[in-house]
Amino acid sequence: MAKSILSKISRAARWAVIGAIKGTEDTATAIVNAVSDVLLVTVDGVAQVAVATEKAASQILVGAIQAATETGEDVFLAIKSAVKGLVKGASEVGADVGKTAVAAIDRAVKAAGEIGADTAEALEHATTGAIEAAEEIGSDTAQAVRKVLKTAVKGKNR
């Protein structure tokens, strides 16, 4: 059952991003808004918002990357914008922004690898998106996200 729901989330994100891209000239903003909206709808009314946010983030990223690929948009712009939208959405629903950023970045890198894109470049763009979103939320959030990202990266390098 959970897998079926997650694939529906991915499809919804894909269609939302495709619609947003086709409806505007500002692809980055369109992706940020579409991804954030899909996350908000996905976790609305869920008791465990943090868990739902992290699980949904993975599927939403897959959908956004598929949409970028299908529409010929820059995959790395889609990654950056999708991660940014997820972090902003996490803040709006009261989820842990740092954990969401780590989960989103991790999934963005995996998704990039799955389509044959450069994972190092995906990591760079995803991290930039997370930090930009955190800075827009506030300086305390930006500091917390930077700290958790440094810890997460160090943990993976050991």
DSSP designation for 62: H
Residue bearing tokens 């729901």: 5
> How is the chain split into domains, by residue range?
2-157
136-155 per-position pLDDT tens digit: 999 999 999 999 999 886 55
Would you put residue 85 in left (φ > 0), alpha (ψ -120 to 50) or beta?
Answer: alpha
37-77 per-position pLDDT tens digit: 777 777 766 656 666 777 778 888 888 888 888 888 899 99
Determine what percent of the chain falls in helix, strand and coil, rounding each to the nearest 5: 85, 0, 15
- Per-residue pLDDT, 81: 93
**DSSP-assigned states of every residue in 128-156:** HHHHHHHHHH-HHHHHHHHHHHHHHHHHH
Q: Which residues make Cβ contacts (< 8 Å) with residue 85, sequence separation at least 6?
A: 31, 32, 33, 34, 35, 36, 39, 133
- Per-residue pLDDT, 157: 46
User: Reduced to 3 states, what is the DSSP secondary structure of residue 17?
Assistant: helix
84-130 per-position pLDDT tens digit: 999 998 888 888 899 889 999 999 999 999 889 999 999 999 999 99
